[in-house]
Structure 1
Amino acid sequence: MTGTTPGERATQLRNQTVDALKDAGTIVSPRIEAVMRAVPRETFAPEADLEAVYEPWNGLVTKKDENGRPLSSLSAPDAQAHMLEQARIEPGMNVLEIGSGGMNAAYLSELVGPTGRVTTVDIDEFVTERTSRFLNQAGYTRVNVVLADAEYGVPEHEPYDRILVTVGSWDVPPAWIDQLVDGGLLVVPLKVMGLMRTVALVREGGRLVSESARLFGFVPMQGAGAHDSTELVLRDGAVRLVFDEQPPADLSRLDGVLEYEPVVDSGAGLRLGEPWATMQMWLATTVPGFCRIMLDRAANEASPRPLGGIHTGMAAVDGANLAYVASRRLGGDHLTLEVHAYGPSPTALAQVVAEQLRIWDRDHRGGPGPQYLVYPTTTPDEQLPAADFVVGKRHSRVLISWPHPANAVGQDILHHPNHQ
């Protein structure tokens, strides 16, 4: 823009981003609006151009591994604003941020004020060096920047009123509960059955109870808290099935499964742009054998029998059979969701997945989604409340319960066994 200095342009873009997030309903409180207008985001990503820095919905990767996978990133303004709203931070609080970069720590420092304290921790010295340097440049010299494995928290500055985790976590380590005050909030991008949701959890004694959850993506945890999924490669790499929790005992039974003629069943309808995060989690917690399906698009299109409509990433396996959820465009902005099932006897699996899509459509579409409870793995079974789904992790058990609508009386929900 002619006659505009870089600083003036950054201020314009920063205000435009905040305005967009207010219009979208992500920013709802005046305090979050004020700090996001005040902190210069460009200071924490000097290598990127201003338009990319202030794009509301996209993050910026700041470090990759040798395979090109992101190891550290500056989260999108949308994600940062939502987590800050979830955290309900007040002046004077003691806050721990797990996963550094500097930007979010600056927001937190503004929110807790001169009587509060912010600690940010990361396992990567490259990240903590950048964080310290950028925070000092921006004038946030009171933030404690710690190089450590956050699996163990930062005990020297506990107890914390709030813990914000800005990396994707497969589990909830004991330290995160132990170092949080009773009634304090942990906000964590928690991965369950391969699906990541940013969940705000209140500590109630030895357990955590969710207040809210929203779909977001974050770079994965490193160090002791890292978790590897199991992948099955089909059609020479054109298709991959990803099992995040417990894969089937014998994946070899799926060899050649996509060479069968598919059975197609219908599920639910959607409109373009309609969120389907609750539908993904519904299938993950009601359909045995749930997994994610991913395509190499070029390899798939070059296949003699390419798979179509895989935009949802949702699939399930049952022995030698595989089903995935496909979307097909109808007229206007309408989509239909279909279940494509392959294998020697795919009909029953197709019917199970399609029926759960219809139940979601009837009872949970547009609803609040499930509640999450987190208990230590040492909790005796008899002390766990009833839940629709329980998944066992290394340190914790995650219990997921769905609201039961009045019209679902007598309806059976498929209960998964505990995964150990």
Structure 2
Amino acid sequence: MAETHVGPDHTAELRGQMVDALVADGTIISTQIEAVMRAVPRHRFAPDAPLEQAYDAYKAVFTKKDEHEVITSSVSAPQIQAMMLERAEISAGMRILEIGSGGYNAALLAELVGEGGDVTTIDIDPDVTARAERLLAEGGYGSVHVVTGDAEAGVAASAPYDRILVTVGAWDIPPAWTTQLAPAGRLVVPLRIKGLTRSIAFDRLNDHLVGASGQVCGFVPMQGAGVHQEQQLLVTGTGEIALRFDDGLPLEPSRLDNAVRTPRAESWTGVRVGRQESFDTLQLFLATVLPGFCIMAVNPDLDTGLVSPSNKWFSMATVDDGGFAYLTTRPTTDPQTVEFGAHAFGPNGPRLAEIVAAQVRVWDQEQRGGPGPRIEVHPAGTPDDRLPTGRVVDKRHSRVVLSWSAAPSTGDQVVPHTPTAQGE
């Protein structure tokens, strides 16, 4: 819907409401981000979307799907874009690389760096870059350099960059993203760790990156050389219950075949959480301390009630000794809270359920309400003795280390990298 059909006053009103909502919820903090989001007409970069959708503060606009109806390009939700821009801390005159094009975010970046700055945006899809280049030129942002190519290699021609913003879901950090940063540069990236995606702001420190736990987010995944697929294990054989592994299947996946034929074990933690309370640090904590961490999903069309997670699409789980356990909740006497617990199947179900429950208690006592882990990204091949203490997640190009501030309170708090049958 073009602005000429509805008048500039209406689009300005909708844009103002969008920004007001993001200021009110604390997403937008700085006056600079507020100003550029009020200035750039978002609907011009989503011309096929209804105006109300283009200016919905919390929803993305999907701009391309493949032959299987899988989304391959989108204009991210304003809340996510504002959050990443705030974490990037961009100032006038900076050189910026955006990985993943759409047009709107590049226009915001161009406003932030001003005439003395430089913005380059790259995407692997020529349809996406052609569209972005056209919309940017029409919007008065023709100075943005639009590049078609595989972002795994970055864009060396315009490096070094003060900031690199990745607006696609990344499983790994390729070397070019670090080497093309200026010595004091910052990389803001939605990084997937053990199946959990967090938008993290990393600062360059010589040959590696240092950051802290970021916000939960979701993005269209990387294509090209950076693509990475989860692996799925069906524990019932019918497709009812699937366990998704981000770094390869367990060494002996067949040992789980008979797990669901055992009685279900339960262990309740006594840890309560508000129904609207965020507990995203618990997700990363369990991914850190449980070597067999994975994500459980239940097919609603085949659901027999064998498992009863709080979220059938996305439940934290783990495998061990031929069994699996998952996190769930149950109501309490207070209608505003629920209690965490663990259900487990397998020959050692009661023990596995208690292991998960015990780690929830550790999180409650030592990490709840805290900042989350320090996250470092080191080059692949970095010796163990040069890494900080923490959980090491090995990827193709990097070794990601999650370190929590509190000392381990149980023997298996910090665990070594667990080999998998088909990991990278």
Where on the TM-score scale, by shorter chain, does this alignment land: which range? over 0.9
C-alpha distance after superposition, 1:345-397 (max 9, x if no partner): 21111111000001111111111000111110132333223x22111110111
Q: Aligned equivalents of 2:154 and 2:107: distance in 1?
A: 20
How far the C-alpha of 1:255 sits from its partner, in A, is: 1.6
Q: Aligned equivalents of 1:307 and 1:81: distance in 2?
A: 36
Q: Which residue of 2 aligns with 1:345?
A: 348
The runs of at least 4 aligned residues of structure 1 exceeding 4 Å deviation read 408-412
Q: Which residue of 2 aligns with 1:332?
A: 335
C-alpha distance after superposition, 1:238-295 (max 9, x if no partner): 2211000132012121124223321011132110111111000000000120000112
8 Å CA contact 2:308, 2:328 repeated in 1: no
Q: Aligned equivalents of 1:377 and 1:353: distance in 2?
A: 30
8 Å CA contact 1:285, 1:416 repeated in 2: no
Q: Which residue of 2 aligns with 1:294?
A: 297
8 Å CA contact 1:310, 1:325 repeated in 2: no
3-state secondary structure, aligned to 2:301: helix
Q: Which residue of 2 aligns with 1:317?
A: 319
In the alignment of these two chains, the number of paired residues is: 412
Q: Aligned equivalents of 2:306 and 2:325: distance in 1?
A: 16
**2:277 matches 1:274:** yes
**Unmatched segments (≥5 aa) in structure 2:** none
TM-score normalised by the chain length of structure 2 = 0.93
8 Å CA contact 1:90, 1:112 repeated in 2: yes
**2:49 matches 1:48:** yes
Q: More displaced, 65-74 or 120-129?
A: 65-74
**2:132 matches 1:131:** yes
3-state secondary structure, aligned to 2:214: strand
How far the C-alpha of 1:308 sits from its partner, in A, is: 4.3
How far the C-alpha of 1:313 sits from its partner, in A, is: 1.4
C-alpha distance after superposition, 1:191-210 (max 9, x if no partner): 11111111100001101111
8 Å CA contact 2:40, 2:108 repeated in 1: yes
Q: Which residue of 2 aligns with 1:103?
A: 104
1:396 to 395, 398, 407: 398
Q: What amino acid does structure 2 have at the position aligned with 1:345?
A: N
* Identical amino acids, percent of aligned pairs: 46
C-alpha distance after superposition, 1:197-227 (max 9, x if no partner): 1110000110111155111111111000111
Q: What amino acid does structure 2 have at the position aligned with 1:37?
A: R
Q: What amino acid does structure 2 have at the position aligned with 1:135?
A: L
RMSD between superposed Cα atoms in Å: 1.8
Q: Which residue of 1 aligns with 2:173?
A: 172
Alpha carbons of 1:329 and 1:7: their partners in 2 closer, same or farther (altered >3 Å)? farther
TM-score normalised by the chain length of structure 1 = 0.94
Q: Aligned equivalents of 2:217 and 2:404: distance in 1?
A: 20
Q: Which residue of 2 aligns with 1:416?
A: 416
Q: Which residue of 1 aligns with 2:215?
A: 214
Q: Aligned equivalents of 1:193 and 1:71: distance in 2?
A: 22
How far the C-alpha of 1:5 sits from its partner, in A, is: 3.3
Q: Aligned equivalents of 1:289 and 1:379: distance in 2?
A: 23
How far the C-alpha of 1:309 sits from its partner, in A, is: 2.7
Q: Which residue of 2 aligns with 1:90?
A: 91
3-state secondary structure, aligned to 1:167: coil
Q: Aligned equivalents of 2:199 and 2:285: distance in 1?
A: 16
Q: Which residue of 2 aligns with 1:367?
A: 370
8 Å CA contact 2:259, 2:323 repeated in 1: yes
8 Å CA contact 2:377, 2:400 repeated in 1: yes
8 Å CA contact 1:286, 1:416 repeated in 2: no
Q: Which residue of 2 aligns with 1:246?
A: 248
Q: Which residue of 2 aligns with 1:158?
A: 159
Alpha carbons of 1:75 and 1:314: their partners in 2 closer, same or farther (altered >3 Å)? same
Q: What amino acid does structure 1 have at the position aligned with 2:191?
A: L
**Unmatched segments (≥5 aa) in structure 1:** none
